[in-house]
Structure 1
Amino acid sequence: MALLSKRDTAQVMEKLESRYPDAKCALNFSNPFELLIATMLSAQCTDVRVNMVTERLFQKYRGPADFAAATPEQVQEDIREVGLFRSKAQNIVATCRLLLERYDGEVPADREKLVELPGVGRKTANVVLSNAFGIPALAVDTHVLRVSNRIGLANSDSPDETERQICRRVPKSQWSQAHHWLIHHGRQICSARKPKCEACPIQEHCRYFHKTFAKSMKTKESTGG
């Protein structure tokens, strides 16, 4: 599939920005550490549920030292509402102990250091860098992966390769916001099962729309509809 030209990409970004001017991180946090933990909890869980859990969690565990002093079993009981709570509890405790051991309890503003922490992959690292530190980064979650590949911003099943392809087409100054625009578009318009193509503000640029529309027209012509 041919990818969008840089001109079309710029128009897509402009229209998404116009449609979602207030798009921002949906996870509640007050510092880089809270965002790190919230993002770790968000895998296979809605942001709404994560926010419900962290509202209580961060009152009990004020920082890395509190988590590090707990056992994974203790943390499990406080995050049972999220998916994969057992493995997440183990990773959170291990990560907090490493933060204390290596970085005096501070979250490093460095991707390579972040991904060395248990349970922290490139997506989580990019979320933290972008939203907590203001460092340009584009995190690819399921929404960004789906929407960008449908539109024609990327052509890959790999989140890492999708990130690279998007970043080659979108200016660095827009990486962080592009992440939020694509997520909002995926949630509101470009859903996984039944995308609302007729209401899409970027349909004229979208490879998926043109492919689906062309197929629909051919079907109507063949049936005399």
Structure 2
Amino acid sequence: MNLDQRIDLVMESLMQKYDLRVFEGGDPYRVLIRTILSQRTRDENTDLATAQLFSQYHTIDEIASADPTKLEPLIRPAGFYRVKAQRIVEVSKKLLDEFKGQVPDDIKNLLKLPGVGRKTANCVLVYGFQKPAIPVDTHVHRISNRLGLVTTKTPEETEVELEKIVPQEYWIELNDLMVQFGQTICRPQSPRHEECPLQDICDYYQNINDKDNEE
């Protein structure tokens, strides 16, 4: 099986197993804020913090003019709440000052926003604008390497390599599918090999099997 066939099989298998999710109604600003809150925390914490924030502050203008300390209790579940509160206010102000209150829909301008790196920018493109991009978090990085699709050391390297080999028709779905797969089956510790639909093409699984057979 060549690489193109492996990628097709991976994507088709994951699309059969998981439903694609919609975050914050696909609203670019809410997706941006949610993604900032999601940094270094779990999805359930992100969901709670995002819901609490937008239950009290409904618009970009309200958040931009807010005292960050007033946001802190609302987003506390997401962790690092002081830093994130400051960042959310800064991002909102910059959007109002330089982008007429609109979230940019291109990577170059998204990266100009305070605290926005490539993963966050790509998440906004995919989940806020439905534009093809590959957000690479720890799940996408880990799974792509375990499956042998790439051999990389950092998420940034993984993004570059995946963009070379994955057909653009899969880009929008790839992050969400691999995140769900990484949370439920291909976990960082104790992956559930017995439930994995990709056993037969997984380099990581084959290597473990080979070692077990040697013993």
Bin the TM-score by the shorter chain: over 0.9
Aligned-pair CA distance for 1:123: 0.5
What is the rounded CA distance, in whole Å, between the counterparts of 1:31 and 1:56 in structure 2? 17
User: Partner residue of 1:156?
Assistant: 152
Which structure: greater helix fraction?
A: 2
Task: Tell which structure's C-alpha radius of gyration is larger.
Answer: 1
- C-alpha distance after superposition, 1:130-153 (max 9, x if no partner): 111111011011111111111112
Is structure 2 residue 143 aligned with structure 1 residue 137? no
- Within a 5 Å distance, the mapping from 1:121-200 to structure 2 comes to 121-200=117-196
Q: Could you tell me whether the CA contact under 8 Å between 1:152 and 1:206 is conserved in 2?
A: yes
Question: Where does structure 2 lack aligned partners over 5 or more consecutive residues?
Answer: none
User: Partner residue of 1:23?
Assistant: 20
Q: Could you tell me whether the CA contact under 8 Å between 2:37 and 2:49 is conserved in 1?
A: no
TM-score by length of 1: 0.90
Percent of residue pairs bearing the same amino acid type: 37
RMSD of aligned residue pairs (Cα, Å): 1.4
User: Partner residue of 2:49?
Assistant: 53
- C-alpha distance after superposition, 1:142-174 (max 9, x if no partner): 111111111112211211110121222211010
Corresponding pairs, count = 214
Q: Could you tell me whether the CA contact under 8 Å between 2:52 and 2:75 is conserved in 1?
A: no
Deviation beyond 2 Å, 4+ runs, structure 1: 27-30
What is the rounded CA distance, in whole Å, between the counterparts of 1:194 and 1:75 in structure 2? 37
Letter paired with 1:173? E
What is the rounded CA distance, in whole Å, between the counterparts of 1:80 and 1:11 in structure 2? 40
TM-score by length of 2: 0.94
User: Partner residue of 1:223?
Assistant: none
Deviating more after overlay: 68-77 vs 166-175: 68-77
Aligned to 1:118, which of 114, 118, 128? 114
Is structure 2 residue 207 aligned with structure 1 residue 211? yes
Q: Could you tell me whether the CA contact under 8 Å between 1:147 and 1:190 is conserved in 2?
A: yes
Question: Where does structure 1 lack aligned partners over 5 or more consecutive residues?
Answer: 220-225
